[in-house]
Amino acid sequence: MAASDEELTALVVATRNSAAFGELVRRHQTLVRSMLQRMCRNHALADDLAQDTFIRAFEKIGSFKGTGSFKSWLCSIAYTEFLKSARKRKSADRLLEQYQQGVEESEAPRDMGNVVDLDRALATLKDEERVAVVMCYSCGMSHSEAAEATGMPLGTVKSHVNRGRAKLQAFFTEAEVTVR
């Protein structure tokens, strides 16, 4: 039987076992990378941030108390890395502007119409709404887990999710009407 996240975490804390940590990376890399890709809409930057997230997680794994899920703890680190990256570019608005200049202009078009649509739709949301929607729909986190990971009050997360969801629904409905 495969070891649980908590067992692997305990092993890493006790022995700094990089193979055990590698297993945790393998299990959660999709979650963290897709979350960051949807948040910052730049695949290369998202992968760099995801790498920093796991390295930071390894360094401070002793602070994981096991009260919440490992997934939420990891997502909160990823969110912090995302915010730090945004701050490095002086202001989140400037960063967002940069990200919103076309979808992955620097990358070759992928064979995934849905992904491009999704990224375009997410671009219509405010930063906080996008973060909340991505955490709840992409990472499968509950509202309270998302609140814990972002440090936002639960009510705020709920309203960001609802508003973001309504905007996405409006975007897709409009897109469908245009196609017809």
Which residues contribute to the site for other proteins (CB under 8 A)?
Answer: 18-19, 21-22, 25-26, 29-31, 33-34, 37-38, 47, 50-51, 54-56, 58-59, 110, 112, 114-115, 117-119, 134, 137-138, 140, 165, 168-169, 172
Hey, what are 122's tokens?
């997410």
Contact 128, 167 (CB under 8 A): no
Residue keyed to tokens 């990472």 = 139
Contact 134, 39 (CB under 8 A): yes
**Smallest distance, other proteins to C-beta of residue 95, A:** 19
| 1 alpha-carbon distance from chain centroid | 29
**C-beta closer to other proteins: residue 13 or 137:** 137
**C-beta closer to other proteins: residue 33 or 71:** 33
**Smallest distance, other proteins to C-beta of residue 96, A:** 19
**Smallest distance, other proteins to C-beta of residue 106, A:** 17
Give me the amino acid identity at 129: E
Spatial distance between the Cα atoms of 135 and 129, rounded to a whole number of angstroms: 10
Contact 161, 143 (CB under 8 A): yes
**C-beta closer to other proteins: residue 67 or 84:** 84
**Smallest distance, other proteins to C-beta of residue 26, A:** 5
**C-beta closer to other proteins: residue 50 or 146:** 50
**C-beta closer to other proteins: residue 23 or 128:** 23
CA atoms within 13 A on the CB side of 43: 12
**Smallest distance, other proteins to C-beta of residue 108, A:** 13
Hey, what are 157's tokens?
């997360």
